[in-house]
Amino acid sequence: MKVVTLNLPGLVTYQQDVTDQVKVRELLGEQGITQVDLIQSDMAPNTTGIKDLDAMRSMGLIQDTLWMYKEILKPEGKFVIKVFM
């Protein structure tokens, strides 16, 4: 994972491996966060150059984030994610 640094008023950024649901919940719990307004993902698989394989890996990463969409995102929240096709 690459560290992201953004200096915007009111923005708090957390970085964690989304496949480790226990750690994500722990991180949010430590901060008293139960729901968020935005989940933004810039995840990308390690590409192989094989288009179909890279697309499948990208879709796998998206599936790994769906639990957050269902559990953590506020009802009117936004979920932004990129997809390699």
Active site amino acids:
82
Per-residue confidence (pLDDT) for residue 35, from 0 to 100 = 93
Give me the average pLDDT of each 10-residue run along the chain (85 residues): 72 81 91 89 86 90 88 93 78
* CB burial readout 5-37, b (16+ within 10 A) else e: eeeeeeeeeeeeebeeeeebbeebeeeeeeebe
The DSSP H or E segment spanning 80 is: strand 73-81
Q: How many domains does the chain have?
A: 1
Alpha-carbon torsion, ordered 1, 48, 84, 8, to 10 deg: 20
| Domain around 60 | 21-81
Residue 12 placed within a domain: no
Task: Give the E-state strand segments of 8-72 in sequence order.
Answer: 36-41
